[in-house]
Amino acid sequence: MVEQKKCQVLVIGAGPGGYVAAIRAGQLGLSTIIIEGEKAGGTCLIRGCIPSKAMIHAAHKMHDLAKMATEGGHMGISIPGPAELNMSGLVAWKDGIVGRLNKGVENLLNKAGAELINGWANFIDAKTCKVATESGDILIQAENVILANGSIPTELPFMKYGGNVISSRHALDLQEIPDNLVVVGGGYIGLELGIAFAHLGSNVTVLEAMDTVLPIFDRELRRPVELNLKRLGIKVLTGVFANGVDKDGNALYAPKDDQEKVQTIEADKILVTVGRRPNNQGWGLAEMGVKSNEHGFVIVDERCATNMRGVYCIGDLAERGAMLAHNASSQGEMVAEVIAGEIRAWDPVAVPAIVFTEPEIVEVGLSPEAAKAAGHPVITGKFPLAANGRALTMEAEKTGGFIRVVAREDDHRILGVQAVGSHVSELSGEFTLAIEMGALLEDIAGTIHAHPTMTESFHEAVLATLGHAIHIT
């Protein structure tokens, strides 16, 4: 006999959108069930953002130790021989972090009163689904449904995952460092992992169809990253298409304007990172009657409500907002409050985008070009990290990084902030808060920033926009 359950809120997917929605719904006194097929935490926590940042951190440690093993050492520190990498040990350390966070999410759900069911949901209609669990099927009927199914890596039809061809998820579980790694796609995922593996000792080649890597950023922001790719010996081939895999598992590619000129790159692993697509198949979206756009994203309004009453969609599956974990979390919290009767809408002024390459890139709000295109009278200011004392002590200045501020010329309202350099991701909150609150240049200029910190660079960039930076001429 099939077990039956009823609830006020049913959440599908325990990623950063789903588990936040379920916790908030539980806090608001709503009977809540959340379904997750794998581990609570979703792609970001279990197999994406968190494990990749752990590996990037370990790779930087390895790279720093390599400097200290060279003749003369570094910072006055030397070690007698080269550091050795135990890849299985690195993966175990990374998995330990993921495991702690996974248990933390489960505990938070439990304390909020949300019931976590491990299984795979398949919808019969808009508010009824059957969940296949290890102990049998459960039929759940809900008053409200929140779809937080997320996204999955885009697979190339001529380079299917398997053998030498891997996704970012597989890359994070490799037990050996590949001598030769080919990365297909020069976006943020490909470059983050490509740089990490280069630090760990791989010979890395990046294949990018566009004329530049990280094409969504302007040249000034990209330039420090491009220079570091060269310093690390990463070979970047732009304007080329991946063309498949030969019988020996090597990568094939050809110039996009001459597809007959196929060439081969030796590869122990081929990491395909050409984007992600909504996870909209195999669980009954069509049976729900929920409408999607031509790209497969679920159509939602400003409350993340779908065309079906009482059915909401958040995160990577929804058409509203970029495919970012913090977007999903923000939407999840809002939807739970909407269901509880609060007047809410998802309309952020600014959402930070961060690339965890070396150096890191942060972009919040409008770039100078976008601000001008939107009709704003624009002034900008820039401050180099090389003029910041704290950056020097952390060697953050070596990447040629800077902070750039974009503001309206007439009323000095801050429209955007861009930064590139080591550790600049930790400044993203201040950038975002300034734009979200409608801060003027004078608001930041009049705020005392602690010394010595990297945040002083933002203060100085604002002063530069006003025409009177203190620590640059």
Alpha-carbon span 79 to 70, nearest angstrom: 8
Pairing of strands 263-265, 240-245: unpaired
CB atoms under 10 Å from CB of 441, counted, come to 23
**Beta-carbon contacts of residue 298 (< 8 Å; ≥ 6 apart):** 147, 278, 280, 285, 290, 291, 292, 306, 313, 317, 318, 319
Active-site residues, by number, are: 451
Which residue's entry shows tokens 């459960």? 138
Asked if 398 and 418 touch (Cβ cutoff 8 Å), the reply is no
Helix (H, G, I), strand (E, B) or coil at 101: helix
For every residue of 124-169, DSSP letters joined together read EETTEEEEEETTEEEEEEEEEEEE---EEEPPBTTB-SBTTEE-HH
Q: How far apart are CA 40 and CA 18, in angstroms?
A: 9
Q: In whole angstroms, what is the distance from residue 204 CA to residue 342 CA? A: 51
Q: Can you give the three-state secondary structure of 343-393, one letter per residue?
A: CCCCCCCCCCEEECCCCEEEEEECCHHHHHHCCCCEEEEEEEHHHCHHHHH
How is the chain split among helix, strand and coil, in percent rounded to 5? 35, 25, 40
Cα–Cα distance between 109 and 97 in angstroms, integer?
A: 19
Q: Report the candidate in 155, 119, 151 with the shortest Cα–Cα distance to residue 33.
A: 119
Side-by-side strand order, sheet with 235-238: 165-166, 269-272, 180-184, 203-208, 235-238
Q: Is the distance from CB of 190 to CB of 205 less than 8 angstroms?
A: no
For the packed helices 325-339 and 18-27, what is the interaxial angle rounded to 10 degrees? 30
Q: Cα-flanking dihedrals φ and ψ of residue 115, to 5°?
A: -90, 120
Our measurement of the distance from residue 415's CA atom to the centroid of its chain's CA atoms, rounded to an integer in Å, reads 23
Nearest Cα residue to 278 out of 312, 304, 317, 322 = 317
CA atoms within 13 A on the CB side of 108: 18
